[in-house]
């Protein structure tokens, strides 16, 4: 993701719109506005902005000229935050983006914890914190790559075989990062 794309995405409502389209699939400005508690005109404006930056695209197989459907674009937008931290023109956009991503992750966890799940699904989920690892930056990068590889293998296996009727959409939130020790200040 370049600086222009980052600035185009780094708005709380745009990020919520994109999240809904990614998680729940295509929708109209009216449908999104209703779900978000926003004005349809405002949502339409943000949808066009997201489309201009390639994050979403019109779903031409649905709707009419009057009712446009939008879907998340099937492209990966990889953001390397270190490229923007020292740039005063993008620092604000980066701050908004990171804050919104963390807020989305937090909201998903709270949703999972407060929703009523049957025991099999409740027990299958996990919120785990491992605090006794000591790794070098290379080891941390290798750990992340290996964990993402496991996720990719499961994604490929589910895409290659018939859909299990008991399957549900699953969110995997992987957070692994160094922390400062108390003596580091």
Q: In Å, what is the CA distance from 123 to each residue of 120, 127, 158, 172, 183?
A: 5, 11, 21, 15, 38
Is residue 100 located within the same domain as residue 133? no
Whether the Cβ atoms of residue 26 and residue 62 lie closer than 8 Å to each other: yes
**Average per-residue pLDDT in the chain?**
90
Q: Domain check: are 111 and 123 in the same one?
A: no
Q: Are residues 93 and 17 in the same domain?
A: yes
Q: Are strands 27-28 and 56-58 parallel, antiparallel or unpaired?
A: unpaired
pLDDT for the residue numbered 162: 83
Residue ending a domain, choose from 115, 146, 175: 115
Q: How far apart are CA 83 and CA 69, in angstroms?
A: 34
Same domain, 43 and 94: yes
What pLDDT is recorded for position 59?
A: 94
> Could you give the CA distance from residue 70 to residue 14 in angstroms, rounded to a whole number?
13
Residues 102, 129, single domain; the answer is: no
Domain count within the chain: 2
Q: What does the DSSP assignment read for 49-104?
A: HHHHTTSEEE-TTSS-SSS-EEEE-SS-----GGGTTT-HHHHHHHHHHHHHHHHH
| C-alpha span between 56 and 48 (Å, rounded) | 9
| pLDDT band with cut points at 50, 70 and 90 for residue 39 | very high
Residue 177's SS3 state is coil
Residues 76 and 110 in one domain: yes
Residues 17 and 80 in one domain: yes
Last residue of a domain, one of 58, 83, 115: 115
Is 0.85 surpassed by the pTM of this model? no
Are residues 35 and 84 in contact, defined by beta-carbon separation less than 8 angstroms?
A: no
Are both 155 and 95 inside the same structural domain? no
Statement to judge: residues 149 and 100 lie in one domain: no
Same domain, 98 and 52: yes
Q: Is 113 exposed, middle or buried (0-12, 13-18, 19+ CB in 10 A)?
A: exposed
Same-domain status, 130 and 150: yes
Residues 101 and 145 in one domain: no
Q: Which residue has the higher pLDDT, 179 or 61?
A: 61
Domain assignment of residue 132, given as a range: 119-185
pLDDT per residue as tens digits for the range 61-115: 997 778 899 999 987 777 777 777 788 888 888 889 999 999 999 999 999 999 9
């Amino acid at each position: 993701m370049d600086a222009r794309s980052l600035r185009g995405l780094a708005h709380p409502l745009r990020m919520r719109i994109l999240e809904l389209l990614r998680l729940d699939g295509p929708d109209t400005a009216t449908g999104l506005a209703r779900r978000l508690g926003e004005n349809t005109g405002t949502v339409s404006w943000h949808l066009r902005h997201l489309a201009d930056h390639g994050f979403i695209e019109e779903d031409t197989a649905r709707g009419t000229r009057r009712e446009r459907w939008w879907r998340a674009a099937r492209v990966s937008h990889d953001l390397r935050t270190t490229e923007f931290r020292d740039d005063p023109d993008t620092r604000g956009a980066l701050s908004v983006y990171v804050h919104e991503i963390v807020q989305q992750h937090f909201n998903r966890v709270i949703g999972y914890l407060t929703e009523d799940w049957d025991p099999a699904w409740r027990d299958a989920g996990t919120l785990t914190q491992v605090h006794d690892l000591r790794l070098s930056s290379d080891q941390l990068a290798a750990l992340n790559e290996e964990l993402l590889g496991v996720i990719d293998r499961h994604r490929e296996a589910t895409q290659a075989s018939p859909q299990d009727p008991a399957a549900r959409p699953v969110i995997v939130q992987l957070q692994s990062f160094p922390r400062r020790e108390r003596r580091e200040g």
